[in-house]
Amino acid sequence: MVSSGMKANGLMLQDEVHQKRELIAVGLNPAWQKTLSFPEFIPGEVNRASSVSLFPAGKGINFARAASIWGAKTTVCQFLGGHTGEFIKEGLREERIRHVSVELNSPVRTCSTCICMKTGKVTELIEPSAPVPSRYVRSLKKKILEKIPSSAGIALCGTYPEGVGAGFYADIASAGKEKGKIVMLDGFKGIGETLEKGVSVLKVNKSEFSSLTGKRDIFEAAKAFFRRYDVRFAAITDGPSKAYLFDMYGVCEYKIPACGKVLNPIGAGDTVSAVLLTELVRGTSPAEAFRKALGAGTASCFNIKSADFSIARAGKFAQKIRILKKPY
């Protein structure tokens, strides 16, 4: 629902429809995910899980999972290796998620989510990723650049491991811009060069946006961001609180309704990114695309598997989200 009296601008207008619909998700830090549920999780004590779920994850894979659920043909591009890499490949086959992977000698990290069913609190334990030798970095970048002409949108998902420099994302963003693709960046560390080269959409959370701009006030942060970078718009989430969609002229504020006790919020932000880019490629206005994306992100919090959700539930949540357009 959009508040009455809102004037159309770049955020409200229907976007260009891209004939090529395939998405590329660049996720350089995949993970073999272990999600454990505990009747009660007590730090410093021996905690026995009541259930465990194992599945492929990491921001790139989460993006690809959510985009695939939303109907987008998506390929995740990544580094894999070791027995955990084999587990990931098998999991992606089962989910019918396509991937372009460069094999490393070191195993993919394992990440563990600990869910306390009593309090609803979630604790995430993240292993470090192994350094990537330069020859593998060059190989993956070459494969990604070769796929760009056949794609409509590119998502640069998260941070990059040791051995991968800032130029990796920047070169992909530059190539995407040159070929008229929508380039989304979901990251905030070491991404200045990438933002300068050709990002269409920045999607981060409120804390990350403040870190990126050095401004605590979100409106001052937006002003500083658009003074510095030629980015079309910035989509900012803040968990269950308000979300914001900025361009250089104004902002859409999104009021997210209360949705009750959630199960697992890990991957909700990746779901938002995936649905947002999918809808932009389809020609949906940025304001409406973000509303649908926020509905999907909320729906994903009710499943154990990261970035997994019901389309019907996502639609119901999206319908309840109110949008207020205003200058800043």
Q: Cα separation of 37 and 54, whole Å?
A: 12
- Sheet (strand 122-126) strand order: 51-57, 31-38, 110-116, 122-126
What's the confidence (pLDDT) of residue 4?
Answer: 30
pLDDT(195) > 50: yes
Q: Cα separation of 305 and 200, whole Å?
A: 29
What is the total residue count of the chain?
Answer: 328
Flag whether the pTM goes above 0.85. yes
Residue 240 confidence class, pLDDT cut points 50, 70, 90: confident
pLDDT in tens, 21-35: 799 999 999 999 999
Confirm if 107 and 84 have CB atoms less than 8 A apart. Answer: yes
Confirm if 272 and 237 have CB atoms less than 8 A apart. Answer: yes
pLDDT in tens, 279-291: 999 999 999 999 9
Distance of CA 38 to the CA centre of its chain: 27
What's the confidence (pLDDT) of residue 327?
Answer: 83
What's the confidence (pLDDT) of residue 69?
Answer: 98
Superfamily of domain 23-326 in CATH is Ribokinase (3.40.1190.20)
Confirm if 104 and 71 have CB atoms less than 8 A apart. Answer: no
Q: Which amino acid is at 213?
A: T
By percentage, how much of the chain surpasses pLDDT 70? 94
Higher pLDDT, residue 172 or 15 = 172
156 beta partners: 26, 185
pLDDT in tens, 139-149: 999 999 999 99
Rounded mean pLDDT, 80-90 = 98
Residue 131 confidence class, pLDDT cut points 50, 70, 90: very high
Burial (0-12, 13-18, 19+ Cβ within 10 Å), 1: exposed
